[in-house]
Structure 1
């Protein structure tokens, strides 16, 4: 049995590395006569008879972790090309007599070029198997599922490419399929147009890493997952034209604020495109009237309470980060309307918004959607989580650095003050010493030791540091009491079982949202621990999760189970349904999101350095 210290030392020394695979092993899964190229950053194979990848692996850190090729192999084509291979390239010709290639694929250490010289050449397609990797393209969407170049191709856990072309206003086609109902393997597809009347077209795919560079942290091997996966939270669904919980998943207005929190510290994705552009485009789609998960009609007759606050927070972050006053002025009427609709849900005047369903025990069934993100738990009436977001939204709306002050912003400020006045007394449970999840219409508190509710209230200032430390200590003590001791997979949302009368789900405890462990919302718990100077548990949680991020333990299916790693039981058994959930990667924000005035990160570096030499 290894001690916690031994586990961390081993992880630091090993760097969670996977041995470099030699060239002789490269063509597993590829034809023996295919063209191949290998560097520490990329390993590719290409068909000899037609322009298509037969193997495609990447490691943006250059560590030779090139064992997984998520490429979706195409069936043989009836039409065969003539191929001419060189040391670092392969060219495809329509016939042996041709001297102008339809396509040439040229490889360098960190770059792949796709070059088409012959007018009328068929498009070059790259398809990835979604069960193997939840790849996504990130960029400015145009009509017809076209993405403007430069853009990003990101393969979670593997690596990232900037795709660019010197052709003005060049675009590529981007598509996904979600399910196997058609008999096809779900895919992520990119299509590159061949040369046209204007002549040669060249597309370059350049391997990069995109993460905020913390000089004292980012070179430590335990943080390799931070470097590879920082932008995992951004998943663009091309059929919706919006950020979603995966590239083929639902767009949720209630999670856009999470994406915006990460976007504000993400470095530019390309020279002309930022993560905040993704936030802006999704906001504009919602403003245009498009609905996402949580809006009326998705489940039940009421909009989720957390949707409007999330959109306001996201818009506020966009304006604050970009200083785009023209956009702010143009879209202020829509943002103001969100705020008015949000505050209108307070029917009692106590500064707490209420959901349309009572939240009373026994009132839930599978057809009724609860108030917030946690859709299998019966949050209703006065929902603590949604009111935390409402407080944040009103506080940001009343920030004169973000919005010009008017009657509405002053109303938001007054509402936030009222929320702060009543929040703690309304939700605090003196019997447990923590905040309850909701107060139902019959006046009862529903308290299941919710980790996210309590930590988010501390994070945003609704609970002060002194009381926050008491609450967090109670939660940590409860974790030990109930036997939750392994932080590698994140945190459970609740520490004791949800009573069947408060749940629309029949799944048992520690399964999915009823106490299941995930990376979702763990950021706030780590941040609250740091804020309240509980550094030891913050360090254990952060480092345990970083080890799992480095090993890609938050995505994909577990062998021989059919279940995924997104949700796990407390003993590590996979019980997830989604193959990928963008929210799982929000916790990576901790490394960049902690106030630099707080000494936690410096102490963390000293702790890690001491481990490596001990």
Structure 2
């Protein structure tokens, strides 16, 4: 049986505050960028792996290290499978200032027996730190998961020194003078903090320790800044300066230590913190200047020695995901610990507003999401170098940097005839669908959620129409990074590998739409933005994806099928498409409509590339798919398309709006039938009393019986979540169909209603708010609070009213 005692789980000290524990231990999980080592043939040239790091505050002796099977990357909509370590590298630190030394490198390890630990005997190995680096795993191969790193390891040994004691010192106030402020800015002092407020922003500064107490933004300039975007509260402190040297006592951590001495002064709109720590010979001068529409931050860090740190920041901002899934939109810096990004960047808080970030000098910045703790942490660093193992080197000498946070708004060029409500929707939500995560280098479900290549078509329809977001930051680069992760095998929601009956298969064999949506996003990128060099670099990966997709046509009719998800009534299976708890299966009308559009774009993009030999086969495939599609899915009893045809040959038709719209928009419905088909659905919507689209469109107009739903959603009424719930997600497809057949009046009216929900930010909110779905009586019935697919509507707006940004 697994043993419970484990140095990695040694608890750090907690504050004496009842159940407000910080849950910190002497270890951490860490994600790092890496390149292939010798012997890693076939690995991506650049990937993110995960490790478990033992971080004692002094010397320790390790006798043995064990590992066992543990949960892998959970793809949702599939069973949680135990993964196993295939390649493991163990690094040790002989002294706090030495380089990491390879202790063991084990390759081609088999899965362990259930509840059995594989032990590595080390005798009396003295160390100041360990990195247990999983370089390859059983299920997702080169992309090793956080869950496995967090749960697979046992380290036996002892600490030579007691855990560093509590030491929460305070800094002293040297001056506060708020008599002179810029016009439009107010200030107040209360409860140990100074707060500045304008119509655009509100920022509070603590006086006894570095850190924000409040950060609020209203990009509309209406003074609605009272919502605090930060995670604050007693017991654990995640704001301000952080410093935890390798092999030594933490100087400033989120729980019980702040070992800096120093002062704070406030003179008008300028706040200056002066900090010193003699033990590690570090001093900081932190200067913030607040203006009505921007904040300026200058840092001077002076060090007499080079210092290694487990974690460090001149200033940390920890955002509260349930308040807003705040995100950084930026280009990544793929080295060392993941999450680093470059300037310029956008800090966006959905429903609140955005800051344009510009850095100068020796500035570094990184963002990391801690979903289980509802935290999104932005770290500003000065004069630090990321080390390949994931720790940081604070350079000696005088190091200087500055950042400007300026309130900004989307400025996508729109035609003169754009309705006011559509313009308002762009102003409010234009950045919100760009749910980029620098720590995973991909657009995601939202800023604090998982990666979802099944949404690639949603991202391409936005990113390829937005152009420059702020100077020198172009939206298509976010799409490129997301495509690269998918092409290189990075796992995600409904992606990566799945395990069934002991064998692995691609998740795209179950979730057909993951492959078709991602292929559509790729096809649009190839035809509109990709360089010839990029195409050549990823040609092998692209060819592999095309080959795998073609092999999913199991019966030769041009349509792809899932051998795993049959779509049969009563199977309780999850879906083959984005509507994941509806039992779409076998032949999926939604996934195949996206595939057809992908083949259209690929036919335009590939002839002039090294993949030109695919042009003729893809053209033939496209013809077969088109010839089969309508006869397969058309339901003569209703006059529109079914959502899927199950393995038994039965059409499953519950008046699906997005499915029919997508098929019409790409030309899969005969022209003489397409308009009548969509008019029939509009009449059905009126007959069943579909509410205004302000809070979204239902995916289906007729109730889906439990036998056509997965087990998790059975027993709920029509209008709940995916069984007729209203959402902006995927709504763009129905409108695209309306526009394609000339039903402009109906489409424009529906688009403007959808834009009302964006303009007043009523259809998206913080994580777990549930605002992403609504019953027909308007009550929330969602879960995430914000789904990236809701914002395909922004792409549709730019398609309808946008002016070419180039």
Q: 1:37-86 CA deviation, whole Å, 9 max, x = no partner? A: 33332222211223322221222233433232212226477556422112
Aligned equivalent of 1:134: 325
Q: 1:275-328 CA deviation, whole Å, 9 max, x = no partner? A: 211111122222222222223655866441112222222222223333411001
CA distance in 1, matches of 2:229, 2:524: 35
Q: 1:496-544 CA deviation, whole Å, 9 max, x = no partner? A: 1112221113133211111111001111222222332323332332222
Q: 1:563 to 1:221 in 2, by over 3 A?
A: closer
CA distance in 1, matches of 2:753, 2:801: 21
* SS of corresponding position for 2:456: helix
Aligned equivalent of 2:650: 444
Structure 2 counterpart of 1:72, from 231, 234, 257 = 231
The gaps in structure 1 that reach 5 residues or longer are 1-21, 181-185, 598-614
Shift of residue 485, structure 1, vs aligned partner: 2.6
* SS of corresponding position for 1:188: strand
Q: 1:500 to 1:467 in 2, by over 3 A?
A: same
Aligned equivalent of 2:348: 154
Task: Indicate yes or no: 2:675 matched with 1:482.
Answer: no
Q: 1:229 to 1:595 in 2, by over 3 A?
A: closer
Shift of residue 157, structure 1, vs aligned partner: 1.4
The aligned runs of 1:200-599 (5 Å cut-off) are 200-216=400-416, 220=420, 223-295=423-495, 297=497, 302-357=509-564, 359-365=566-572, 368-400=573-605, 403-404=608-609, 406-504=612-710, 505-506=713-714, 507-556=716-765, 564-594=770-800
Task: Indicate yes or no: 2:375 matched with 1:192.
Answer: no
* SS of corresponding position for 2:288: strand
Stretch deviating more after TM superposition (114-123 or 136-145): 114-123
Aligned equivalent of 1:103: 286
Say whether the 8 Å CA contact 1:159–1:207 is kept in structure 2: yes
Say whether the 8 Å CA contact 2:461–2:796 is kept in structure 1: no
Shift of residue 401, structure 1, vs aligned partner: 6.9
CA distance in 2, matches of 1:501, 1:158: 41
CA distance in 1, matches of 2:551, 2:382: 54
CA distance in 1, matches of 2:755, 2:587: 35
Normalised TM-score (structure 2): 0.65
Aligned equivalent of 1:51: 210
Say whether the 8 Å CA contact 2:553–2:560 is kept in structure 1: yes
Say whether the 8 Å CA contact 1:487–1:540 is kept in structure 2: no
Shift of residue 158, structure 1, vs aligned partner: 1.4
The aligned runs of 1:595-614 (5 Å cut-off) are none
Say whether the 8 Å CA contact 1:490–1:541 is kept in structure 2: no
Which structure dedicates a bigger proportion of its chain to helix?
1
Shift of residue 215, structure 1, vs aligned partner: 4.7
Shift of residue 330, structure 1, vs aligned partner: 1.4
* SS of corresponding position for 1:594: helix
CA distance in 2, matches of 1:327, 1:118: 40
Shift of residue 375, structure 1, vs aligned partner: 1.0
Say whether the 8 Å CA contact 1:130–1:187 is kept in structure 2: yes
CA distance in 2, matches of 1:348, 1:122: 57
Shift of residue 563, structure 1, vs aligned partner: 5.5
CA distance in 1, matches of 2:578, 2:499: 12
* SS of corresponding position for 1:407: helix
Q: 1:298 to 1:512 in 2, by over 3 A?
A: farther
Say whether the 8 Å CA contact 1:211–1:266 is kept in structure 2: no
Say whether the 8 Å CA contact 2:588–2:644 is kept in structure 1: yes
* SS of corresponding position for 2:399: coil
Shift of residue 440, structure 1, vs aligned partner: 1.3
CA distance in 2, matches of 1:458, 1:403: 29
CA distance in 2, matches of 1:219, 1:534: 18
Structure 1 counterpart of 2:196, from 33, 37, 41 = 37
CA distance in 2, matches of 1:340, 1:241: 26
Shift of residue 150, structure 1, vs aligned partner: 2.2
Aligned equivalent of 1:113: 296
Q: 1:235-263 CA deviation, whole Å, 9 max, x = no partner? A: 12344332110122221221112111100
* SS of corresponding position for 1:57: strand
Q: 1:290 to 1:571 in 2, by over 3 A?
A: same
CA distance in 1, matches of 2:769, 2:217: 26
Normalised TM-score (structure 1): 0.85
Aligned equivalent of 2:372: 179
* SS of corresponding position for 1:126: strand
CA distance in 2, matches of 1:483, 1:556: 27
Say whether the 8 Å CA contact 1:150–1:272 is kept in structure 2: yes
Stretch deviating more after TM superposition (128-137 or 297-306): 297-306
Shift of residue 383, structure 1, vs aligned partner: 0.8
Q: 1:402 to 1:61 in 2, by over 3 A?
A: farther
* SS of corresponding position for 1:306: helix
Shift of residue 122, structure 1, vs aligned partner: 5.5
CA distance in 2, matches of 1:222, 1:382: 36
Q: 1:118-174 CA deviation, whole Å, 9 max, x = no partner? A: 325962111111111110112223231212222221111111122221226x43121
Q: 1:217-240 CA deviation, whole Å, 9 max, x = no partner? A: 678366323212112111123443
Say whether the 8 Å CA contact 2:766–2:786 is kept in structure 1: no
Stretch deviating more after TM superposition (512-521 or 101-110): 101-110
Stretch deviating more after TM superposition (75-84 or 140-149): 75-84
The gaps in structure 2 that reach 5 residues or longer are 1-183, 238-256, 277-282, 304-311, 384-394
CA distance in 1, matches of 2:576, 2:474: 32
CA distance in 1, matches of 2:409, 2:360: 22
Rg larger in structure: 2
Say whether the 8 Å CA contact 1:491–1:517 is kept in structure 2: yes
CA distance in 1, matches of 2:185, 2:359: 30
| Alignment length (residue pairs) | 559
Q: 1:215 to 1:32 in 2, by over 3 A?
A: farther
CA distance in 2, matches of 1:538, 1:147: 39
CA distance in 2, matches of 1:129, 1:291: 26
Which structure dedicates a bigger proportion of its chain to strand?
2
Say whether the 8 Å CA contact 1:257–1:314 is kept in structure 2: yes
